[in-house]
């Protein structure tokens, strides 16, 4: 229908690229004029809470780009806005764009974990990037934090953090390592190395007699189009290769938007919602604060 950006040139180029009918420089003027059935909110994280709350308070369903706020307090404000924006008493439908949950190979791993006996014993998630000198990498690390919760099927109960700071590359640049215990009793190790030599995301899940190796194909990464391997007692029993499709399909971006719209059309509440994303934000907030422990 329409798109908005505070920069008129970007708004118009986006409109032309994606065949929107109109472009605006004021998001709320657009909402008032167009009366959309739903909104996709992709703004700097500093604006997410303010704008997301205003949209939810108007009763408009919204897909919120990750992270849905910098802090748990901001997430709670959004949850409250969703609760008050719907006259029926039910929360306004919304979804948080944690796209790893919709990446085809990640979803396939989750499906297969539900078919093997016993719960996961240990999970490992590695996120490596090239020259990402962000002073706050937690806004990207939240993807790995959330992916482990999704694959484990439960929350963290205890997380300990270690930071390997690299000040010569800029303020806040650091490798970050998490050692965690999940509510199921499984353990997890997460590594975030933003200034290494390759773009990869990889996961391992170990169960009794079973191990899964996953190469997550994010943004045409080194491992693209990705691969999932299932080993049983030392033998490779199955290998699934990702489809050589566009990066936005391999990474789950296309599927998460389709799921959001399909759920709205079918009167289902989308997932993950703000409550489901809350702990992922809490752990990311702990990284931003250079905490030693989250429990």
pLDDT of residue 88: 78
pLDDT of residue 20: 95
Cα separation, 197 vs 142, in Å, equals 21
Low-confidence ranges of the chain (pLDDT < 50): none
Q: What is the reported pTM?
A: 0.95
pLDDT of residue 247: 85
Which of these, 147, 142, 178, lies nearest to 160 by C-alpha position?
178
Based on C-alpha coordinates, what's the Rg of the chain?
Answer: 20
pLDDT of residue 220: 78
Q: Where are the alpha helices (DSSP H) in the chain?
A: 8-18, 27-34, 45-57, 72-84, 104-113, 138-152, 247-250, 253-265, 274-288
Cα separation, 100 vs 89, in Å, equals 31
Cβ 224 vs Cβ 86: under 8 Å: no
pLDDT of residue 13: 96
Please, what is the angle between helix 45-57 and helix 72-84, to 10°?
20
Cα separation, 107 vs 142, in Å, equals 18
pLDDT of residue 245: 82
pLDDT of residue 48: 97
Q: Where are the alpha helices (DSSP H) in 87-137?
A: 104-113
Domains and their CATH numbers in the chain: 2-98+254-273 (3.40.50.720), 99-246+283-294 (3.30.360.10)
Cα separation, 196 vs 193, in Å, equals 6
Chain-centroid distance of CA 37 in Å reads 23
pLDDT of residue 162: 99
Cα separation, 224 vs 216, in Å, equals 7
């Amino acid at each position: 229908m329409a798109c908005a950006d505070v920069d008129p040139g970007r708004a118009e180029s986006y409109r032309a690229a994606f065949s929107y009918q109109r472009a605006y420089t004021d998001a709320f003027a657009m909402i008032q004029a167009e009366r959309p059935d739903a909104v996709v909110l992709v703004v700097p994280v500093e604006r997410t809470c303010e704008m997301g709350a205003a949209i939810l308070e108007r009763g408009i369903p919204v897909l919120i780009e990750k992270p849905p706020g910098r802090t748990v307090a901001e997430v709670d404000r959004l949850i409250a806005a969703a609760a008050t924006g719907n006259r029926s008493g039910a929360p306004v439908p919304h979804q948080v764009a944690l796209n790893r949950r919709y990446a085809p190979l990640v979803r396939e791993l989750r499906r297969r974990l539900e078919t093997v006996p016993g719960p996961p014993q240990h999970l490992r998630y590695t996120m490596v990037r090239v020259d990402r000198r962000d002073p706050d990498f937690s806004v990207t690390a939240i993807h790995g934090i959330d992916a482990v919760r999704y694959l484990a099927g439960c929350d963290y109960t205890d997380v300990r953090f270690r930071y390997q700071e690299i000040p010569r590359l800029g303020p806040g640049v650091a490798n970050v390592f998490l050692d965690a215990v999940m509510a199921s009793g499984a353990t997890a190790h997460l590594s975030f190395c933003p200034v290494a030599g390759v773009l990869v995301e990889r996961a391992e899940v170990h169960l009794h007699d079973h191990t899964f190796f996953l190469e997550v194909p994010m943004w045409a990464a080194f491992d693209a189009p990705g691969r999932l391997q299932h080993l049983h007692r030392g033998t490779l029993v199955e290998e699934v290769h990702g489809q050589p499709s566009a990066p936005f399909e391999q990474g789950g971006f296309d599927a998460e938007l389709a799921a959001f719209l399909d759920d709205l059309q079918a009167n289902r509440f989308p997932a993950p919602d703000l409550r489901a994303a809350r702990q992922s934000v809490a752990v990311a907030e702990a990284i931003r604060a250079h905490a030693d422990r989250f429990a």
